[in-house]
Chains A and B, each alone.
Chain A
Amino acid sequence: MNCSFAHEWLQRRLDGESVEESPLWSAHLHECPDCSVLVEAAQRLQQGLQRWPDPAPPLGLEARIIEAVFLDRRRRMRQRWVMGLALAAGIVLALIVRFHGMRLSPSIEREPDESASVPVLPKEEAAPTLRDSAAELGEVFTSLTSQTANETVEQTRRWVSQVPSPTLPKVDLLSAEATARPLREAGQGVSEGLEPVTNSARRAVGLFLRELPPMDTEPSGL
């Protein structure tokens, strides 16, 4: 038996395995003072570990942990609600600005009815309502979008006119049609898939508009 084997034996004993003390082992300990001291130290370690006090948790820690866990759970749930509501509000607002603005823009530009018996005050004096602001914002957005689109189309047209028309190879229209069919079907699928989303958004805007106070048809103070 050598020292490394003795160390291995010692480790197995400290692992809790029941290892026999063979005569070879005893002989090695007798002639190797290092291993002998190590074994003695291991015995002392085992003695000490038996008396090693377990650091018991203090009284009240369990209650504090449970309280903290429930507080944390409530706080996280509240955060989730607030975030969800904020997200929903943001979406609804964006939809209002987009759809409601578009819907109201013609009525804003309409001339006042001449036959109306009630005189209408100049626009500067009327306080703008939420509906007016939304409409105005929508109008600006729409006009900007349409302006940008027109400019892009115009620019593309100019570029296309400058490009020399290449001689295109003859295309088999039947095979082109067959190739385009999956694309068309995919497009149709996407638009069908988006339909519920569009409907939901439309319903949400409708509900929101129903909640808005009615527009003042008569100027105040008259």
Chain B
Amino acid sequence: METWTQVGNVNADNDAMLVRRCLHGDAEAVRLLVNRFQGDVFGLCVRLLHHRHDAEDVTQEVFLRIFRSLRRWDSQRPLRPWILRIAVNRCRTLLAKRTRRPELVDYLQDSVPAPPADDSGELVREIEAAVAELRLEYRTAFVLFHERGQPYEDIALAMDRPVGTIKTWLHRARLEILNFLRRRGMVGDGAEEQSSARNGREPT
């Protein structure tokens, strides 16, 4: 059975080779690198910015920055957190600009793909609303862990914070979301009432 370290080493070797090829101007390697990481970068940008068009623009900008500074990547460290760190920084910059010009922003416009229209749709929408209310650090840690599946160590690298801080942020994020779901009646009797209201019948 492969250990985490072995898998990590294989990935690191692949990443290092890919980066070397990119630096030598290999167009196929550039395409591979974009293909490998665009999902993570775009997904993170959508969740942090809540705006698909902005997320597309920022994703493109992130990749431009990645290729401009690829020489500065330390091949002893994993590539993905380094890329995600650039994405987090670009999103933070854009959000700071938005704060300065709030009238130009429509957070709800064209945000994320609509969740499925069955009973779980309501729950997903509430979770999205709860995530959107989190402060940026908590939201980033939550999305990187629960949606992008990144381990604590890589999130710490991506956010340039110690692992302990990331754990604290993630735990607080979860508690805030759980409390949000409680307040919104998605748990216990409230959930049953909501479900009944949707189905048009009295709660039992």
The distance from the CB of B66 to the nearest CB of chain A, in whole angstroms, is 9
A79-116 CB contacts (< 8 Å) to partner B:
none
B120-141 CB contacts (< 8 Å) to partner A:
120, 123-124, 126-128
Which residues of A does B touch, CB under 8 Å? 7, 11, 14, 37-38, 40-42, 44-45, 47-49, 51-58, 61-62, 64-66, 68-70, 72-73, 76
The distance from the CB of B40 to the nearest CB of chain A, in whole angstroms, is 10
The listed residue (B56, B113, B178) touching A42 by CB distance below 8 A is B178
B188 to A37, Cβ gap below 8 A? Answer: yes
A40 to B187, Cβ gap below 8 A? Answer: yes
A62 to B186, Cβ gap below 8 A? Answer: no
Given contacts A69-B30, A72-B67, contact A64 B120 (CB under 8 A): no
The listed residue (A45, A52, A65, A76) touching B34 by CB distance below 8 A is A65
A72 to B188, Cβ gap below 8 A? Answer: no
Residues on the B chain within 8 Å of A72, using CB: 64, 67-68
A55 to B174, Cβ gap below 8 A? Answer: no
Please, which residue of chain A has its CB at the minimum distance from the CB of B125? A48
Please, which residue of chain B has its CB at the minimum distance from the CB of A40? B187
A68 to B30, Cβ gap below 8 A? Answer: no
Give me 26 A-to-B residue pairs in the complex whose CB atoms sit less than 8 angstroms apart, sorted by A's number.
Answer: A11-B171, A14-B174, A37-B187, A37-B188, A41-B179, A41-B181, A41-B182, A42-B178, A44-B123, A44-B181, A45-B181, A51-B116, A51-B120, A53-B113, A55-B46, A56-B39, A56-B42, A57-B42, A61-B38, A62-B31, A62-B34, A66-B31, A68-B63, A70-B30, A73-B67, A76-B68
Q: State the CA gap A11–B55 with chains docked (Å).
A: 30
A55 to B67, Cβ gap below 8 A? Answer: no
For the complex, would chain B's binding face be called helix, strand, loop or mixed by DSSP majority?
helix
5 new A-B contacts, CB < 8 A, other than A37-B182, A41-B187, A45-B177, are A11-B174, A44-B191, A45-B174, A51-B115, A51-B123
A65 to B123, Cβ gap below 8 A? Answer: no
Please, which residue of chain B has its CB at the minimum distance from the CB of A56? B39
In the assembled complex, B3 has its CB within 8 A of some CB on chain A: no
Q: State the CA gap A72–B61 with chains docked (Å).
A: 11
A70 to B27, Cβ gap below 8 A? Answer: yes
Please, which residue of chain A has its CB at the minimum distance from the CB of B123? A48
The listed residue (B63, B115, B177) touching A53 by CB distance below 8 A is B115
Q: State the CA gap A5–B123 with chains docked (Å).
A: 27
Residues on the A chain within 8 Å of B177, using CB: 45
Given contacts A38-B178, A61-B38, contact A53 B124 (CB under 8 A): yes
Residues on the B chain within 8 Å of A54, using CB: 39, 43, 147
The distance from the CB of B32 to the nearest CB of chain A, in whole angstroms, is 10
A52 to B127, Cβ gap below 8 A? Answer: yes
B124 to A52, Cβ gap below 8 A? Answer: yes
Please, which residue of chain B has its CB at the minimum distance from the CB of A61? B56
B124 to A48, Cβ gap below 8 A? Answer: yes
In the assembled complex, B35 has its CB within 8 A of some CB on chain A: yes
A52 to B39, Cβ gap below 8 A? Answer: no
In the assembled complex, B197 has its CB within 8 A of some CB on chain A: no
Q: State the CA gap A65–B64 with chains docked (Å).
A: 8
Q: State the CA gap A53–B179 with chains docked (Å).
A: 22
Residues on the A chain within 8 Å of B46, using CB: 55
In the assembled complex, B112 has its CB within 8 A of some CB on chain A: yes
In the assembled complex, B150 has its CB within 8 A of some CB on chain A: no
The distance from the CB of B117 to the nearest CB of chain A, in whole angstroms, is 12
Q: State the CA gap A56–B179 with chains docked (Å).
A: 29
B27-81 CB contacts (< 8 Å) to partner A:
27, 30-31, 34-35, 38-39, 42-43, 46-47, 52, 55-56, 59-60, 63-64, 67-68
